[in-house]
Structure 1
Amino acid sequence: MAGRDRSNPQLPLDLPAAPGLRREDFLEAPSNSAALALIDSYPDWPALVVCLVGAPGTGKSHLAAVFAERAGAKIVKAADLARADVPDALSTGALVVEDVAPGGFDEAALFHVLNLAKETRAHVLMTARSAPSGFTLATPDLASRLRAVPKVEIAPADDALLAAVLVKLFADRQIPVDEGTVHYLLARMERSVAGAEALVKAIDRAALAARRPVTRAFAADVLRASEKTIAEDEDD
């Protein structure tokens, strides 16, 4: 953890890690290989508009960032998309619309995106937790368009991918860890990428506060403390 600020062990700086969002930083696994293949195949997609579907933390935003860099696409949250902004958003010929969720976007704006993309032959990558084809919408034409959008699903991470994610998350925070510590955490942590992110953040903060290296014993202490906190919260 060289080079990190330890000037006050009682008040660790909660500086965000700097995750790598390049193509070479993406950890490929059977659960996400189809989604990665889609991004790598750009612009030879099955349709101009495609949707990545998966739970939080499965890599949708990472792949969207890779696509955006490759295609020169702008990235906009679905909740922030306004109809008047659509021509500018699609001005580069490619667009990422992130977090498309039921009731969480302007239907007219998204419908305009799909129409303009078709007219201009622009590529649009949407990300969502569930397939937009199943949304209940007030705009029948939009519902019809979304049913026709091909989706590529990203499955939950398996053990091999979660282990690789732990290693990468620690590396992003410049924390050296051994294989034993990774496997200890893997056997006891929440089985998701989001759980791995939360756990590594907690261990990082505790290590900074205690001015201690991250060993298996130290990680075990943090994990037990986290479980105790969760149990106490559930009892309240």
Structure 2
Amino acid sequence: MSRQLAFDLPANVRLGPEDFFVSQANEQAYAMVSAPAAWPDGKLALVGPAGSGKTHLARLFVTANTARVLAAKTLVTNAPMPDTAIVIEDGEDMPVVAQEWLFHAHNHLRTNGLPLLLTGQTPPARWNITLPDLASRLAAATTVTIENPDDPLLMAVLLKHFADRQLAPTPDAITYLQRHLPRTFDAIRKAVETLDREALAQSKPLTRPFVRAVLDSLLDSAPPNG
């Protein structure tokens, strides 16, 4: 069977308010991020696994609060103090050299009544923060966690991944995926990425038999637990 050359092109990810689905798994996170005036000490840590919607929620916060997004790994020591609310994304990736800047930025934001949203896959207390004053301040942040998807969120995330890639699986293919995919955001993301790549390579529509064959292959190749 001939295969077309497939390229891993970025999906056209939609991050508008109408694209965020709220369920029991993320409703507390959604409510907290939507109410920065209620954050103790003006800061909140949003925690969840990859693909759980942290970036989407952060963008909603940015839009509502005219905030800026800063990737932790790109923080530098000589950056100016922020004049708006800010989001620090992927806090685990923060370089040691940037920690003093964030310490002063944290105090500056608090003095000026500007909220600070931190995101990461683990709580700030588990980040490798070597500056004691910063570590204590970040560890004191209220933390809200996005849990692994319940069934309604699983379906919503699955459909969003397909929509972002402009894919149209058949209804019975969607039903099969909902029943057989592991209940994690990362598993959903990987499955859709693989289906997109294989459908292009094999020139096949996303029918239930095709989806089943690809998913079986994907699950067979996954490393065993433990």
Of 99, 104, 125, 1:133 maps to 125
Classify the secondary structure of the residue corresponding to 2:86: strand
Deviations 1:120-151 (A, max 9, x none): 22211100222213446432222221232111
Cα offset for 1:64? 0.7
Classify the secondary structure of the residue corresponding to 2:56: helix
Cα offset for 1:113? 1.8
Is the CA contact 2:92–2:128 (under 8 Å) kept in the aligned structure 1? no
Q: Does 1:96 align with 2:90?
A: no
Question: Aligned partners of 1:180 and 1:10: how far apart in 2?
Answer: 26
Is the CA contact 1:133–1:146 (under 8 Å) kept in the aligned structure 2? yes
Of 18, 23, 26, 1:29 maps to 23
Of 66, 74, 78, 1:84 maps to 78
Q: Does 1:122 align with 2:111?
A: no
Deviations 1:133-173 (A, max 9, x none): 34464322222212321111111112221122111211222
Deviations 1:33-81 (A, max 9, x none): 1111123224454432111111222111110111112222111111211
- The equivalent residue for 2:144 is 152
Question: Aligned partners of 2:47 and 2:28: how far apart in 1?
Answer: 11
Question: Aligned partners of 2:117 and 2:94: how far apart in 1?
Answer: 19
CA 1:186–1:177 in structure 2 vs 1: closer, same or farther (change >3 Å)?
same
Deviations 1:14-41 (A, max 9, x none): 3221111111111111111111112322
CA 1:149–1:103 in structure 2 vs 1: closer, same or farther (change >3 Å)?
same
Cα offset for 1:9? 5.3
Once the two structures are aligned, what percentage of the paired residues are identical?
35
Cα offset for 1:224? 2.2
Question: Aligned partners of 1:65 and 1:48: how far apart in 2?
Answer: 18
- The equivalent residue for 2:103 is 111
Question: Aligned partners of 1:135 and 1:215: how far apart in 2?
Answer: 43
Is the CA contact 1:167–1:177 (under 8 Å) kept in the aligned structure 2? no
Classify the secondary structure of the residue corresponding to 2:47: strand
Q: Does 1:164 align with 2:161?
A: no
Bigger shift: residues 150-159 or 183-192 = 183-192
- The equivalent residue for 1:214 is 206
Which one-letter code corresponds to 1:71 in the other structure? N
Of 20, 33, 38, 2:32 maps to 38
Cα offset for 1:226? 2.1
Question: Aligned partners of 1:112 and 1:95: how far apart in 2?
Answer: 13
Bigger shift: residues 45-54 or 222-231 = 222-231
Cα offset for 1:174? 1.7
Q: Which runs of 5+ in 2 are unaligned?
A: none
- The equivalent residue for 2:181 is 189
Question: Aligned partners of 2:47 and 2:16: how far apart in 1?
Answer: 20
Deviations 1:76-106 (A, max 9, x none): 111211231141xx12x11110111177553
Structure 1 stretches of at least 4 aligned residues deviating more than 6 Å after TM superposition: none
Q: Which runs of 5+ in 1 are unaligned?
A: 1-7
Q: What is the root-mean-square deviation of aligned Cα atoms in Å?
A: 2.2
- The equivalent residue for 2:168 is 176
CA 1:111–1:160 in structure 2 vs 1: closer, same or farther (change >3 Å)?
same
Kindly tell me the number of residue pairs found equivalent between the two proteins. Answer: 222
Question: Aligned partners of 1:136 and 1:170: how far apart in 2?
Answer: 36
Which one-letter code corresponds to 1:67 in the other structure? F
Calculate the TM-score normalised by the size of structure 1: 0.84
